[in-house]
Structure 1
C-alpha cells in the first residue's frame, strides 16, 4: 500500500465525494462518505490489532476475542466479507453498519439513517466503484495515525460546510474562530469542557489540541456536549473517535428544551444542567423557534435568571443556559450576532441584568463574512460568574472589524489575527483602535448598550459630525419627500385612483 501524506489523504477522501456528486443530493452525501470512511477505519484497525495479537499469542481465537479490542466487528460484517458480494451491496453495507452499532454501545447511532440499499441512489455498480476507491489505501494506525486521519476528517467537514453555504454553519465553525475562543478561555489539564450546541465537535477537539500543543496532558480533560441534529451528532461522535478521543460524552437532544448532563454513576445522560470549568459554543444565530412558549412561563430548569428572550430571538436563552452550566470559577465564550449587544426590549433587560450582576467580562467583535452563509459580523461574548477582582465593574471591548484576511468567497483569520485578539483579551487593557476597558457605569449611562463601535473605533481618522447640521439635512430631505408625496397623490386623485 502506498504511503499517504496529509494532502494526498485529503485528496483521496475528497475524490470519494466526487464519485457520489450528481447522484446524491449535496446536502446528504457527507453522511455516506463519513460513514464509509469510519467503517473502513474500524475494519482496518481491527485487522491491525488482530494481526498484532496473533503474532503475540499464536492463538486465533484469543486474537479475535472482543475483549482484546477497542471495538468489536462481527466476522460476517467486516470489510473483506462485504467486498465478496457483487449484488445487493447496499443492503450488505446497511447490515454491517447496523451490526457494528449493535456490537458497540459507544457507537450506537453514529451512522445515522444512511441507507445504502436505496437503489435509486446507489446501484451495485456505483457502490462497487466507491468501495474500490476506499480500499486503494489502508487506514490502519500504522499507515494513518489518529491525528492525521482526524485532521483529514476535519478537512472533509470544512469542504462540505463550504459547499452547503448557510447550512454548513449549522455543523461547522471555522477553525480559526474556534482556536480564538479556546485561546481566550485557556483550558487547563483536568478541567471539564462543555459545548451545548457542539455540531461536529470542533470546539471540544480544539481544547484537546490546545493542551497537546503545550505538551500537557490532553487526556486529563473531561469533554461533554449536546447536539440537536441526529446526523450532526453522528459526525461529532465519529470525529472524536477518529481523533482517538474516548473520554467524550455527547448527548442528543434540544439543549434549551431538554438539557442533558452525564451521570457518571449511572453511566448515562439524565435531564438537567451540569457544571463545567469551561463552556464554549456557537449557537444558531437568532433562532426563531427555540422554546419561547416554555420559557415564557418560567424555565423548568431555572436558567432564565435574567429573563425570557423574545419569541423570535433565542440567542440569550443559549447564553443563559451556558451561564447556568458554569462552575463558580468557570468561564464561557459564546458566538453571538451583534444584535444581542444592542437590541432593546426583553434582550435589553436581560443584558442590563447581566451587566448589573457583573458577569460579562469581555466582548470581542469579529470581522464580517467569517462564517459560512452568514455575511453579518458576529461577536464573542466572554462571561464568568465570578470575575477576577481587578476586572470587576469593567468590561473589555475589543473591536476586531479590521482584524482579518480577505478571501475570495469568505474572509478568515490568520494565526497572527488569533494571537492579536486573544492577547488583547488576556491583557485586559486599552489598545489604540483595538481595545478599551469600559466601566459598567459608562455602559449603564448608554442604556446598557454594548454596541462595539460606540466604545472602540478602528478607522484612522473619525470625521467630526456636526449634529445640528445633520439634523437640518434630514429635515430638508423629509420636507422634499413630503412635497413629492403631495404631488403624487394629486395626480392619483385626478386619475380617480384615490378619493
Structure 2
C-alpha cells in the first residue's frame, strides 16, 4: 500500500470540507469534519494493528482483538465500516458509534464534542453518506499516512478553516509563523513542562514538540498542559495532539480566568514554558472576582473591565516556575501604552522579568488590522539585561498570505538573531533601562523605544487608532451575540 503524499493528503482533507462547505457556514462545518477524520484515523489504525497481531499470533482472532495490541479500542459495532454500510439515520448511527468509542477509551472521553449529528435538516443522510464515502477513499493507517504527516495535514486543514471562517478563527487558531517564532525564542528543552492557558487547537503545544524533533532532541519526555474555554475547540486540540502521535498531555475545557484547572495545594501549578495567545481585549469577564483572586493573580493590579489582557498576563506570570519559567505571549500592541494600564505596566517593569518586546506586522491576527506584539518574560534573564528590556521593531518583516501576513523563514531568523545578540541594531533593536522606561510613563511602545526621534510624533495617533480598533471589535462582538439570540 503506497504512502499518500502531503499534497494528496491536503487535497483529500479539503475536499471533505468542500462537501460540507456549501451546506453550512464555515463556523459550523469544523464541528463535523474534524471528529469524522479522527474517527476514520483511529479505525484504520486499529485495523492495521489487528492485521499485525494476526500475523504475530498465526491468525488468532481473539489475541488480535486484545486491547494490549491497540492504541485505542474500537467496539465492533462502532467501527467505521459499520457506519459506511448504514443507509438511513446515518447521523444517529455516527452519534452512537462515537459515544461507544469514548466509553471504551478513557483517554478519549468527550473528545468528539457534542455536534448535532441527528439534525437531518442540516445533515441529511445523503450528505453524510457522500462525506463518508469521500473519507473512505483513503486509508489513514500509519503505513499510508504516518502520524507526523497526518498531523501536518490536520494543521493545514485548521489553517484553511481559519482563512475561511473570518473573525472566529482567532478563537482557536494563531498564525503558525508567529507560533514558530515564539517557540524558537523560548527554546523548550527535553523533560520540561509546557503550558498554554488559552490553547485553542493546541498549535503552540505542538510547535514546542516540533521544535525538539527538528533539533534532534528527546520530545516524548515533555509534559504538555492546556486549558480552553470552548468545548469543541478543546476537543479539536486533543485530536490534534493525538494525530501528531503525542500522548503525554492534559487538555481541559474551562474558563482560565474564572476557574483555572491546574492548581496544586491551593496555588497555581507552575511550568517551565508558557506560550499563549489570549483572547484580546475582552470586556465580558469577572473583574470583581479577579480583584479578590484567591491565587493572587492581581499582584500587579486589577485591569479595567473593558480589557482583560493584563488579567491573562498576570495569570501567565503566576504560572511560570520561579526559577526556570519563561513565557512568550502574543498581545495586541495596545497593552504597551494604554493610559488606564500605566500603573500595572510600571509594576511589571519594576519586578524585572520582562526580557524582550517584539513589535510584529499588522495583519498577524486573523481578519484584523491591529498590530501585535510578542512579549517575552524570563524568571532568569540574561545578566546583560538585568534592569533592562530589549525592544525589537519587526513590523516591516512579513510576507503577504491571502488575507493575513506571515513571517518568512528569513524573518524569523532575523528576529531570533536580534533577540540573542547582546548589542542593539540601529533602527531595529534597542536596549532600554527599566528606570528610564518608568520615568517615561512606562511606555513600552516598540517603535518609540527603538526609534524615538521618528515615532514620538505618531504615538498619540497610534494610541487613538488602537482604541478605535478595539472599540470596533467590541461592537462587532456585541452585535454578533445579539444577532444569534
User: Do the structures match in fold with TM over 0.5?
Assistant: yes
Deviates more, 1:427-436 or 1:196-205: 427-436
Determine the C-alpha separation between the residues in 1 that align with 2:81 and 2:330: 45
Instruction: Map 1:92-103 onto structure 2 (within 5 A).
Output: 92-103=93-104
Task: Give the equivalent residue in structure 2 for 1:288.
Answer: 283
Partners of 1:261 and 1:271 within 8 A in 2: no
Partners of 1:147 and 1:243 within 8 A in 2: yes
- Residues 127 and 407 of structure 1, relative CA distance in 2, 3 Å threshold: closer
Q: Note the residue ranges of structure 2 that are not aligned, 5 or more in a row.
A: 458-485
Q: What CA RMSD, in Å, does the superposition of the two structures yield over aligned residues?
A: 1.7
Partners of 1:306 and 1:350 within 8 A in 2: yes
- Residues 153 and 464 of structure 1, relative CA distance in 2, 3 Å threshold: closer
Instruction: Map 1:164-183 onto structure 2 (within 5 A).
Output: 164-183=165-184
Determine the C-alpha separation between the residues in 1 that align with 2:106 and 2:88: 30
2:338 maps to 1:352: no
Deviates more, 1:115-124 or 1:90-99: 115-124
Partners of 1:396 and 1:429 within 8 A in 2: no
Task: Give how far 1:262 is off.
Answer: 7.1
Q: Secondary structure at the match of 2:103?
A: helix
Task: Give how far 1:464 is off.
Answer: 11
Task: Give the equivalent residue in structure 2 for 1:31.
Answer: 31
- Residues 21 and 60 of structure 1, relative CA distance in 2, 3 Å threshold: same
Determine the C-alpha separation between the residues in 1 that align with 2:420 and 2:118: 54
Partners of 1:260 and 1:272 within 8 A in 2: no
Partners of 2:355 and 2:378 within 8 A in 1: yes
- Residues 133 and 271 of structure 1, relative CA distance in 2, 3 Å threshold: farther
Q: Secondary structure at the match of 1:44?
A: helix
Task: Give the equivalent residue in structure 1 for 2:419.
Answer: 425
Task: Give how far 1:52 is off.
Answer: 0.3
Partners of 1:323 and 1:384 within 8 A in 2: no
Task: Give the equivalent residue in structure 2 for 1:485.
Answer: none
Instruction: Map 1:261-276 onto structure 2 (within 5 A).
Output: 261=262, 273-276=268-271
Task: Give the equivalent residue in structure 1 for 2:7.
Answer: 7
Q: Secondary structure at the match of 1:370?
A: coil
Task: Give the equivalent residue in structure 1 for 2:364.
Answer: 370
Task: Give the equivalent residue in structure 2 for 1:249.
Answer: 250
- Residues 248 and 299 of structure 1, relative CA distance in 2, 3 Å threshold: same
2:398 maps to 1:404: yes
Task: Give how far 1:2 is off.
Answer: 6.0
Deviates more, 1:62-71 or 1:191-200: 62-71
Partners of 1:365 and 1:400 within 8 A in 2: yes
Instruction: Map 1:66-105 onto structure 2 (within 5 A).
Output: 66-105=67-106
Task: Give how far 1:426 is off.
Answer: 1.5
Deviates more, 1:123-132 or 1:223-232: 123-132
Determine the C-alpha separation between the residues in 2 that align with 1:2 and 1:143: 6
Determine the C-alpha separation between the residues in 2 that align with 1:37 and 1:213: 26
- Residues 159 and 46 of structure 1, relative CA distance in 2, 3 Å threshold: same
Task: Give how far 1:112 is off.
Answer: 0.7
Task: Give the equivalent residue in structure 2 for 1:330.
Answer: 325
2:203 maps to 1:202: yes
Partners of 2:448 and 2:455 within 8 A in 1: no
- Residues 102 and 271 of structure 1, relative CA distance in 2, 3 Å threshold: farther
Task: Give how far 1:168 is off.
Answer: 0.4
TM-score by length of 2: 0.91
Q: Deviations over 1:406-428 (max 9, x none)?
A: 34422211011011112211214
Task: Give how far 1:39 is off.
Answer: 0.5
- Residues 316 and 130 of structure 1, relative CA distance in 2, 3 Å threshold: same
TM-score by length of 1: 0.88
Q: Deviations over 1:424-443 (max 9, x none)?
A: 11214201111001111211
- Residues 407 and 136 of structure 1, relative CA distance in 2, 3 Å threshold: closer
Determine the C-alpha separation between the residues in 2 that align with 1:104 and 1:236: 17
Partners of 1:110 and 1:237 within 8 A in 2: yes
Determine the C-alpha separation between the residues in 1 that align with 2:100 and 2:268: 33
Count of aligned pairs between the two proteins: 455
Partners of 1:90 and 1:122 within 8 A in 2: yes
Determine the C-alpha separation between the residues in 2 that align with 1:428 and 1:195: 29
- Residues 141 and 272 of structure 1, relative CA distance in 2, 3 Å threshold: farther
Determine the C-alpha separation between the residues in 2 that align with 1:223 and 1:262: 15
Task: Give the equivalent residue in structure 2 for 1:49.
Answer: 49
When Rg is computed on C-alpha atoms for both structures, the one with the higher figure is: 1
Determine the C-alpha separation between the residues in 1 that align with 2:407 and 2:383: 32
2:437 maps to 1:436: no
Task: Give the equivalent residue in structure 1 for 2:112.
Answer: 111
Determine the C-alpha separation between the residues in 2 that align with 1:464 and 1:54: 73
Determine the C-alpha separation between the residues in 2 that align with 1:409 and 1:34: 23
- Residues 271 and 135 of structure 1, relative CA distance in 2, 3 Å threshold: farther
Q: Secondary structure at the match of 2:143?
A: coil
Task: Give the equivalent residue in structure 2 for 1:213.
Answer: 214
Task: Give the equivalent residue in structure 2 for 1:22.
Answer: 22
Partners of 1:102 and 1:108 within 8 A in 2: yes
Task: Give how far 1:451 is off.
Answer: 1.2
Matching residue within 398, 413, 421 for 2:407: 413
